Amino acid sequence: MDILDYAFMQRALLAAVLVGITAPAVGIYLVQRRQALMGDGIGHVAMTGVGLGFLLSWSPVWMATAVSVLGAVLMELIRWYGKTRGDIALAMLFYGGMAGGVMFINLAPTGSNANLTSYLFGSLSTVSESDVSAICILAAFVVLVTVGLRRQLFAVSQDEEFARVTGLPVRALNLLTAITAAVTVTVAMRVVGLLLVSALMVVPVAAAQQLSRSFAATFAISVAIGVSVTIGGTVTSYYQDVPPGATIVLLTIGAFVLLTALATPLARRRARAAAAAQPAGDPAECSIPATRGTGD
């Protein structure tokens, strides 16, 4: 394939695979916690890090990581203590992050809005070797956390009170989830872009849930979808000269629509089979609904 003859496409494809793995791996916990838009908020905050990177002549990826982690910690603190004013504080944090990014990058000697655009919407040709190195390190951290602590993170995401009763450090795990989401945003920003990364964290998980309710199966399917759409979007962007981030997100939404269409008749067939298996003398209204727990 001629696409692999170019070093910048080799780097872009490697970054795309890592993004396809990490974004859904974190997104499944955010979906369970009903914080699907958290990635979008962190993406706004990360803009300040990108701008500071250009202003201080440091790596925008590492600077965005530091600022994103700080923003994620603040978001968790606001969620814990913000109460009624929490939404206002979060709005100020998100909009301040956007404004700070635009301001800092315009103050930078070598910065411009064109530089910021490549981080907002993704750019294949600008993925450098240093970017790939940073992405590999950050992706390894994300995989280590999301896979190694999957049982604990799942328990906290499902029911914080139950997890607290069992002795799990709920606040520490919530904070770790937020930090991992922040790292994932910076992993994905060179391929998908800061403004679109949240879709790649959420939509593959929603698509996988159309086929399975098991956590392990949903995790595996969502990662498979993520890798497929990131590679497909990157290749399409190369041959058709279209924006990579937008292409990847549209492919992700297409996968969701397709899987939803396939899952609907399967669900109806299972329902008919379950109804047919019910004993004839047992009235439907007397049947006991399935429950999630095992208690009385």
Q: pLDDT tens digits for 37-93?
A: 788 889 899 999 999 988 888 888 899 999 999 999 988 888 777 665 667 778 888
Backbone angles phi, psi at 203, to 5 degrees: -65, -45
- Does the predicted TM-score (pTM) go above 0.85? no
- Integer Cα distance of 56 and 244 in angstroms: 28
According to DSSP, residue 288 is labeled: P
115 burial (CB, 10 Å; 0-12 / 13-18 / 19+) is buried
Structure confidence at residue 295 (pLDDT):
44
Mean pLDDT of 148-163: 89
What's the rounded mean pLDDT across residues 215-220?
92
Both ends of the chain: CA-CA distance in Å?
60
pLDDT at 220 (0 to 100): 94
The confidence score (pLDDT) of residue 1 equals: 60
Q: Return the pLDDT at 291.
A: 43
| Sign of the alpha-carbon torsion through 215, 217, 219, 222 | negative
Torsion of CA 271, 272, 273, 276, to 10 degrees: 120
Predicted pLDDT of residue 292:
44
Greater pLDDT, 292 or 226: 226
Tell me which DSSP letter residue 126 carries. Answer: T
Residue 286's identity, in one-letter code, is C
Q: pLDDT band for position 278 (50/70/90)?
A: low
Q: Is the pLDDT reported for residue 285 higher than 50?
A: no
Contacts of 14 (CB under 8 A, 6+ apart): 132, 135, 136
pLDDT on residue 130: 87
Closest CA to 50 of 146, 124, 123, 117: 117
Distance CA 94, CA 196 (A): 15
Average pLDDT score, the chain: 84
